[in-house]
Amino acid sequence: MKRLVVGAHYGLMDWLAQRVTAIFMAVYTLIMFAATLGGAASSREAWHALMANGFIRYLTFLFIISLCYHAWVGVRDIWMDYVQPAAIRVTLHVLTLFALVGYAGWAVQIIWRL
């Protein structure tokens, strides 16, 4: 049986995840833009208060997870398109995953201790 360690065989799930995360991030962006227009970035205190709000923190958490999943699919597609040798490609995939999982932890930690 032929086994592939890399390839474009993950199908509909990643395609759908790319869209769902995109829609969520677009809505989040509009919410944050509206908050900014309402003065949420007028001072450090106002910005802190916005990001410390429970509901906004919940949305920001989802945004961070969405961003990392979305970036994973997109960056993986770039490696799949331009990097042919499987060993280099799988290394790049792993490095991308490590980076994104680390960024997610870092960003969540920033908003979670507010």
Partner 1 sequence: MPPEIRKPRPKYLALHQIRLPLAGYASILHRVSGAGLFLMLPLLIWLLQLSLASSAESAAMFGAVTGNLLVKLILLGLLWAFLHHFCMGIRILLIDIQIGVEKQQAHASAVAVMVVSLILTLIFGLKLLGAY
Q: In this complex, which beta carbon is closest to partner 1, that of residue 27 or of residue 87?
A: 27
Which among 76, 97, 56 is positioned nearest to 10, based on CA atoms?
A: 76
Q: In this complex, which beta carbon is closest to partner 1, that of residue 83 or of residue 111?
A: 111
Distance from the Cα of residue 60 to its chain's centroid: 11
Q: Which distant-in-sequence residues (6+ apart) come within 8 Å of 89 by Cβ?
A: 6, 79, 80, 83
Q: In this complex, which beta carbon is closest to partner 1, that of residue 1 or of residue 76?
A: 76
Can you give the binding site for partner 1, defined by CB under 8 A? 19, 22-23, 26, 29, 44, 47-48, 51, 71, 74-75, 78, 99, 103, 106-107, 110-111, 114
Give me the least distance between CB of 68 and partner 1, in Å please. Answer: 9
Give me the least distance between CB of 74 and partner 1, in Å please. Answer: 5
Residue 13: φ, ψ to 5°:
-55, -50
